[in-house]
Amino acid sequence: MKKIIKVANKDKGLRLDKWLKKNFSSLNQSFIEKNIRKKNIQVNNLKKVASYRLLDRDKVTILNYDEVNYKNLSSNKKYTIEKIFKELFKNSIIFESRNFIILDKWSGIATQGGSKIKTSIDHIIKNISSSYNLVHRLDKETSGLLIIAKNLKYTKLFGQMFKSHQIKKKYLAICQGRPKISESIMELNIPRKENTNLMHKTETYYKVLDYKNNLSQILFIPKTGRTHQLRIVSKKLGCPIVGDKKYNFQNKFKVEKLKLNAYEISFEIKGKNYIFSSLIPFDFKKFLQKNNLNIYK
């Protein structure tokens, strides 16, 4: 069954996947991305990506619509969240205002849900309020700063700010080996998640902060934000990140957690500057100290 929905003005600027979840709250991220990839979900009869930002009066067509999969559950529905995750979330908030939260995400929890993910940051925030939204993502094993919007107005605002590169992010990583050039900008084409035959152009500034025992502590400042961008860049530089099970094939530190931290985030809203820093995780600091590397300040 085919269903066509015209996008309302109030939803202008929302990502396609966020719009789908708003209208059909039963959908999870993996289902959405799979059906976008298979062209079951289109915008104006064209294939789009999950991150496509909708325009006023866009027409979303669902070619495989049915009332079983596409349901809008009661807004009062709450995910069951274990107490330990509630406490971890509460203790990881480093800033909170009326409009947004800055979370210092711990390693090991997914940002968004999926078919094999029982608990994610998205599950936790929806348990608090259906108005809360993620505005960007971190890999499951990456620790560090994450912005959560508390209403639709700030969801759109942060979305626009990310799109226009008004939000600056810095990452710290511990890598095996050392780049040939200690400070540079890496421009790299990365395969698109939804279609590996197409490429994303990425740009990343990096600088080696410290090097000892064949380990580099590297500062990364990405201009673009693509899935696994820094992990792929590190591998391309010849110094994969310690603990990276996907891109690091060296065995020396294979039991370590991923040593990648979203360390700093900064932006300006209504003339006010905001800058936040992550508390470096214990395992990250311990690894630095054990290998006589300096702690970045």
d(CA 182, CA 222): 16
Q: What is the CA radius of gyration of the chain?
A: 20
What's the Cα-to-Cα distance from 91 to each of 26, 102, 285, rounded to whole Å? Answer: 29, 12, 19
d(CA 124, CA 92): 12
Its sign, for the CA torsion 16, 117, 248, 281, is: positive
Question: Cβ distance 141 to 56 under 8 Å?
Answer: no
d(CA 208, CA 192): 28
Strands (E), the chain: 3-6, 41-43, 59-62, 93-96, 100-105, 133-134, 143-149, 168-176, 183-191, 199-212, 215-222, 260-269, 272-277
Picking from 285, 181, 154, the residue whose alpha carbon sits closest to that of residue 239 is 181
Picking from 139, 144, 85, 141, the residue whose alpha carbon sits closest to that of residue 258 is 141
Question: Cβ distance 292 to 117 under 8 Å?
Answer: no
The reply to whether 139 belongs to the active site is yes
User: Of residues 11, 17, 139, 244, which has the active-site annotation?
Assistant: 139
d(CA 230, CA 144): 14
Q: Is 156 helix (H, G, I), strand (E, B) or coil?
A: helix
> Mind telling me the catalytic residues?
139
